Amino acid sequence: MSLMFLHGRFLPVEEATVPFLDRGYLFGDGVYEVYRLYGGRPFARELHVDRFYASCSGISLEVPGTRQELVGILDRIEAHAPARSYIYFHLTRGPAPRLHAWPDACNPALAVMAVELGPVPETWYRRGVAVITYEDIRWARCRVKSLNLLPNCMAMSEARARGAAEVLFVNREGFVTESATASAFAVIGGYLRTAPLTFNILPGVTRHLVLESARESGLPVRESAFTLEELQEASEVFITNTPFEILPVAVIDDRPVRGPGPMTRELMRGMARRVEEETGHPAQCSVALG
């Protein structure tokens, strides 16, 4: 059993319970973050903690204690985490009588747990994964990484039922916004493209690192959303997130797309360098390199 931190104490995750009246349970009133450990060492943690504060601010939720205290709790959970794992942490507005408006006094509940990562097939990195397109039915504040995840669950369930690993959300105007748990990229007409943050998307940490790496490598980047039609012209398609880093897309709705190309591999090399520098351990996507 793995150790977690919940509302002030450390305990095994399987024994952890929360009050029925916690607003996280009755309203999904909370936000969360996920960052990865490599060989037990955190990667890009500061960026995730920054985004956590931004998400809290997006729903008027005050983080109890100082940032230093939060990081101290993360440190302790990391010390007990499996080497290949990620840290999940969330803050809910805590228990209160069931009324929609924020309670005058609340007792927010911080939870932190380590989750072991299962093995990922090497072919996912070498040849790519299948994705399906799915109507972007989410709310209009996706920049907040909230616990209202039902549309993401519905999309991922449909993907799994159709033998796919992820989805490409398509909005009402026909643009690909992002994936259910990842950001979406494509190389179209020689340009690396992804929807801009002004679209209704999460500011992905891996998305940010990939864009930074692309610019450092002198790749031509356009933060400009693409349609499904444009995607048919794409020479490379990939998705990025914290657990998987960079995953090439090989199939969209049963239609094959060209496998991992030169830009995807260049960005994987950049990611591998960065993970190695920061943690001293190899990135997962390095199985597709060298």
Interface residues with a copy of itself (CB under 8 A)?
A: 4, 6, 13-14, 16-29, 59-60, 88, 90, 92, 98-102, 111, 113, 115, 135, 137-141, 146-157, 159-160, 180-181
What number of CA atoms fall less than 13 Å from residue 267's CA on the CB side?
A: 32
- Closest CB to a copy of itself among residues 83, 150: 150
Q: How far is the CB of 178 from a copy of itself (least distance, A)?
A: 14
Q: How far is the CB of 26 from a copy of itself (least distance, A)?
A: 7
Residues 152, 121: contact at Cβ < 8 Å?
no
Q: How far is the CB of 270 from a copy of itself (least distance, A)?
A: 28
Q: How far apart are the first and last CA of the chain?
A: 37
Residues 209, 44: contact at Cβ < 8 Å?
yes
- Closest CB to a copy of itself among residues 141, 273: 141
Q: Give the integer Cα–Cα distance in Å for 154 and 151.
A: 5
Residues labelled as active-site residues: 145
Q: Give the integer Cα–Cα distance in Å for 128 and 268.
A: 13
Give long-range contacts, CB 8 A cutoff, 24+ apart: 38-42: 38/84, 38/275, 38/279, 38/280, 38/281, 38/282, 38/283, 39/83, 39/279, 39/280, 39/281, 40/78, 40/81, 40/83, 41/78, 41/278, 41/279, 41/280, 41/281, 42/74, 42/78, 42/87, 42/279
Q: How far is the CB of 135 from a copy of itself (least distance, A)?
A: 7
- Closest CB to a copy of itself among residues 105, 140: 140
- Closest CB to a copy of itself among residues 24, 248: 24
- Closest CB to a copy of itself among residues 4, 210: 4
CA nearest to 112, candidates 22, 204, 3, 18: 3
Q: Give the integer Cα–Cα distance in Å for 116 and 1.
A: 11
Residues 95, 19: contact at Cβ < 8 Å?
yes
Strand, coil or helix: 191 = strand
Q: How far is the CB of 149 from a copy of itself (least distance, A)?
A: 4
Q: Give the integer Cα–Cα distance in Å for 125 and 270.
A: 15
Q: How far is the CB of 126 from a copy of itself (least distance, A)?
A: 24
- Closest CB to a copy of itself among residues 14, 216: 14
Q: Give the integer Cα–Cα distance in Å for 252 and 143.
A: 25
Query: Within the chain, what is the greatest distance between any pair of CA atoms?
Result: 58
Report residue 251 as tokens.
């199939």
